Chain A
Amino acid sequence: MVTTAANLQKGQKGIITEFPNEGFPLKLMEMGCLPGNTVELIQVAPFNDPIYINVGDSHIAIRRSLAETIVLELIED
């Protein structure tokens, strides 16, 4: 199932397929957020934003708006 990182539930995982947004931040890619890598949602901050993900061994916090531009193939357990 195709979704975005913003729609993950806590503990859910997905594999990054693409970044449709042309201006996707390079820094995020450098931190391991690359197509083919797995994203896992670890924690959601109070008030639902930002979200805390584990991607390519990096534990990072990003805002929901940015997470929406990360397109994933959901891994069903």
Chain B
Amino acid sequence: MATNEIKVALLGNPNTGKTSVFNALTGLNQKVGNYPGITVEKKIGFCKLSNGITAKILDLPGTYSLNTTSLDESIAVEILLNKKGEYFPDVAIVVAEVENLKRNLLLFSQIKDLGIPTVLVINMADRMQKNGISLDVESLSKELGTKVILSSVRNNSGISEIKQSIEDIDAISTDSFLDITEVSPEYFERLKKLFPQEDPYKLWLVTTQDVNFTEIDKNQQAQVNDITTTVDLRRYQHKETVLRYKKINASLKKAYLKDPTKATSLKAKIDSVLTHKVWGYLIFFAILFLIFQVIYDWSNYPMDLIDGFFASASNWVSKTLPSGMFTNLIAEGILAGIGGIVIFIPQIAFLFLFISILEESGYMSRVVFLMDKLMRPFGLSGKSVVPLMSGTACAIPAIMASRTIENWKERLITILVIPFTTCSARLPVYLIIISIVIPEGSFMFISYQAFTLMALYILGFGVSILSAWILHKILKIKTKSFFVMEMPGYKMPQAKNVGITVLEKTKSFVFGAGKIILAISVILWFLGSYGLSEDFKNAEKNVDEKIASDGFSDFNKTFISSNIQNYELSLRDSVSAKIYHINNQDIQDSLAIKRNDLIAVAKEDELAGYKLEHSFMGQMGKAFEPLVKPLGYDWKIGIAVLASFAAREVFVGTLATIYSVGSGGEEEETIKERLAAEVHPSTQKPVFNFASGISILLFYAFAMQCMSTLAIVKRETNTWKWPMLQLAIMTGFAYLVALIAYQFLK
């Protein structure tokens, strides 16, 4: 293995363009996953070198130093310390940014002290001239004792040199940068007595960091803790930092020159607008509104195409293949299920397009800066804004994103309230219900429907903030808090990075949530198509008898008569316009044929409805109905609500299954039209009316209906206590609000 694969760890401060370097080296040849047992994202990419060796590149989370303050950062330390570990690198590449080189070198110096061959890549070289920076790569390389590469991913320069340097790792010195014992000779003397075999800097990291380092066991670690106090340790850490900067300054003195007069004032100008007390907020809310308008409007076009494609594919399958259970499974179970997944790709892609542009450009940090003071009364900080906003895509990555919050109480509160924000899985439910119960039309260019959608987003955000405030008051957790955030320079987002993010997120939705959706769609199709009761077996006979004695339902009577009327009108129009040359008898014959067709459709519909009612699913739904009736739902909606405790997006798929089973007509009706046409059998009023629609919207806004989120919360909080509380409290609250809304509006 070692002969044809070389393990590379990519490290660097946040905002250095590390991800761009990773993308440039590996292209789409990446695997994204999680480290076992934890939720820190693991990105591995592969890159072929000219000598036939494959570089396996591990993109570690961005960190300012090896002194960790968050879980994300401790991953890097654990991997670099564990020589026997799966990911221990043969070579480390530290990506630095030319404008903040000094600070970036701190991390470099620490990694070099671990004795790992370390290459320094100074990225964003294209910004040097503008900022009046001159750099002598050769002399810097000599000072730092390593290979230094100047790169600019934007201009595609330096990438081949990075590859070359990976090939030549044997040429890179592994001498340390700082002699750590300088920090306190006597302390390190004592340490050395305890562990004569160990490298002092590694020992030092193990002593000061809370990481699971396998080479030194806990007993030994306790001994280490005995020889000094935490106050002294902290003093030594401060001293270490000062010493490192001293050495770094000395190394940079000759090689790195910055003309302060040339420093661009553009950043300051943009900042003064984007963080302005009026403009800042206006711009932020305008951007938010733009995002929602785009998700709502633009995604409609691809969605209609996808919708139409799957409808005709399903139709084609049921007409082409021999009829039977297998054909039905494909047409009504699997194809409908896949259609239900694919249809949401446009919205998810658009949302992540925006989020990644905002992050890449540097604007996201300004949002944190703007919002910090506003979030504080609720027990949160500006850092919770990004996880909460990411929650509008999916609670799962958002809860993972909360790892950047160092303060445990803030982090726990953020995790607990994220599921209230409107995730993309709610979007399909919202979109379909809104399109049925909220009238079209607009007020001053803002359509009522888009406005309702935005109101739901604000509501979700509002309730999450409010519950954060309550949690802040209730939870008694003492933590020491400080808030430090880098304000990176503004950058033009790079299409490649944005594209890869969008692709990754979409893939994780399709293959993550998609599996659950498809499985549930197939199960639901089965439950809705089969039954064991006598009524189900004798469905055909029973329906025939019912029609013979009582006639069709009122809905079907109207359906037949209105269709006949329209048909007759258009027929007579065509005759008087001399398109058709037929006499009155022909018209009557034609009408009779049409009437027979319509009766057959109506009969099919009633049979399908009857079958569904007596299928497994119908029986379950009816048992469940008394619970959801006060919310304005019938047993069909009840089934969909029940099914969506696995994942919210299942709601629409379930309804699609229920009604495509229930429709059976000749024409292709979209789910939307079918839902809008659904009436209560007793009252003949639409099932999806304003009151029940709002009740559904509110229920979905608040209920905890996502198994994956519960699983993530369990993992992040390391107990079932928090996810179970979330499930009970959120769902109870949702039920109550939906109940009040329906009873008030009906």
- CB pair A50–B373 under 8 Å, yes or no, is yes
Total A-B contacts with CB atoms under 8 angstroms apart? 113
- CB pair A23–B234 under 8 Å, yes or no, is yes
User: Which residue on chain B has the smallest CB distance to residue A69?
Assistant: B482
* CA A22 to CA B229, docked complex, whole Å: 13
- CB pair A50–B382 under 8 Å, yes or no, is yes
* CA A63 to CA B481, docked complex, whole Å: 11
User: Which residue on chain B has the smallest CB distance to residue A44?
Assistant: B275
How does the 8 Å CB contact mask read for A5-40 relative to B, with 1 for contact and 0 for none? 000000000000000001111111111101100000
- CB pair B486–A57 under 8 Å, yes or no, is no
Describe A's contact surface by its main secondary structure. mixed
Instruction: Please give the distance in Å from B205's CB to the nearest CB on chain A.
Output: 13
- CB pair A52–B369 under 8 Å, yes or no, is yes
Q: Given A23-B480, A26-B67, A59–B487 Cβ distance below 8 Å?
A: yes
- CB pair A22–B231 under 8 Å, yes or no, is yes
Partner among A24, A48, A56, A59 whose Cβ is within 8 Å of the Cβ of B373: A48
- CB pair A25–B374 under 8 Å, yes or no, is no
Interface residues of B in 117-161 (CB under 8 A from A): none
Partner among B272, B372, B488 whose Cβ is within 8 Å of the Cβ of A43: B272
Residues of A within 8 A of B591 (CB): none
Instruction: Please give the distance in Å from B249's CB to the nearest CB on chain A.
Output: 10
Residues of B within 8 A of A49 (CB): 372-373
Say yes or no for B478: interface residue by CB 8 A criterion: no
How does the 8 Å CB contact mask read for A33-75 relative to B, with 1 for contact and 0 for none? 0110000001101111110100011111111001000000000
- CB pair B271–A62 under 8 Å, yes or no, is no
- CB pair A61–B231 under 8 Å, yes or no, is no
* CA A13 to CA B487, docked complex, whole Å: 18
- CB pair B370–A34 under 8 Å, yes or no, is no
- CB pair B484–A31 under 8 Å, yes or no, is yes
* CA A64 to CA B486, docked complex, whole Å: 15
* CA A70 to CA B369, docked complex, whole Å: 20
Interface residues of B in 375-398 (CB under 8 A from A): 382
- CB pair B373–A45 under 8 Å, yes or no, is yes
Residues of B within 8 A of A29 (CB): 238, 241-242
* CA A34 to CA B248, docked complex, whole Å: 13
* CA A50 to CA B483, docked complex, whole Å: 9
Q: Given A27-B64, A27-B67, A61–B100 Cβ distance below 8 Å?
A: no
Q: Given A22-B231, A23-B480, A42-B268, A56–B369 Cβ distance below 8 Å?
A: no
Residues of A within 8 A of B234 (CB): 22-23, 26
* CA A68 to CA B667, docked complex, whole Å: 72
Residues of B within 8 A of A59 (CB): 267, 486-489
- CB pair A28–B480 under 8 Å, yes or no, is no
- CB pair B102–A62 under 8 Å, yes or no, is no
- CB pair B268–A62 under 8 Å, yes or no, is no
* CA A51 to CA B450, docked complex, whole Å: 36
Q: Given A32-B102, A52-B369, A60-B485, A42–B242 Cβ distance below 8 Å?
A: no
- CB pair A27–B485 under 8 Å, yes or no, is no
- CB pair B241–A56 under 8 Å, yes or no, is no
Say yes or no for B106: interface residue by CB 8 A criterion: yes
- CB pair B102–A30 under 8 Å, yes or no, is no
How does the 8 Å CB contact mask read for B201-217 relative to A, with 1 for contact and 0 for none? 00000000000000000
Q: Given A57-B100, A63-B483, A50–B64 Cβ distance below 8 Å?
A: no
* CA A27 to CA B382, docked complex, whole Å: 18
Q: Given A27-B67, A31-B484, A63-B372, A46–B382 Cβ distance below 8 Å?
A: no
- CB pair A66–B271 under 8 Å, yes or no, is no
Instruction: Please give the distance in Å from A17's CB to the nearest CB on chain B.
Output: 14
Residues of B within 8 A of A62 (CB): 482-485
User: Which residue on chain A has the smallest CB distance to residue B488?
Assistant: A59
- CB pair A42–B102 under 8 Å, yes or no, is no
Instruction: Please give the distance in Å from A54's CB to the nearest CB on chain B.
Output: 9
Q: Given A27-B64, A60-B486, A50–B231 Cβ distance below 8 Å?
A: no
Instruction: Please give the distance in Å from B397's CB to the nearest CB on chain A.
Output: 24
Residues of A within 8 A of B382 (CB): 50, 61
- CB pair B372–A31 under 8 Å, yes or no, is no
* CA A47 to CA B69, docked complex, whole Å: 28
* CA A61 to CA B365, docked complex, whole Å: 9
User: Which residue on chain A has the smallest CB distance to residue B73?
Assistant: A27
How does the 8 Å CB contact mask read for B265-277 relative to A, with 1 for contact and 0 for none? 0011001100111
- CB pair A27–B484 under 8 Å, yes or no, is yes
Partner among B99, B241, B370 whose Cβ is within 8 Å of the Cβ of A57: B99
Say yes or no for B709: interface residue by CB 8 A criterion: no
- 7 A-B residue pairs with Cβ-Cβ distance under 8 Å, sorted by A, are A24-B238, A26-B65, A27-B67, A42-B271, A50-B373, A50-B382, A61-B382
Chain B residues engaging chain A, CB cutoff 8 angstroms: 64-65, 67, 69, 99-100, 102-103, 106, 231, 234, 237-238, 241-242, 245, 267-268, 271-272, 275-277, 280-281, 365, 368-370, 372-374, 382, 480, 482-489
Chain A residues engaging chain B, CB cutoff 8 angstroms: 22-32, 34-35, 42-43, 45-50, 52, 56-63, 66
Given contacts A56-B245, A63-B483, 18 further A-B contacts (CB under 8 A): A26-B67, A26-B234, A26-B238, A26-B241, A27-B64, A31-B64, A34-B242, A42-B268, A45-B372, A46-B276, A46-B281, A46-B370, A50-B373, A60-B485, A61-B382, A61-B485, A62-B482, A62-B483
Complex A-B, nearest 4 residue pairs according to Cβ-Cβ distance, in ascending order:
A46-B277, A47-B373, A59-B487, A30-B65
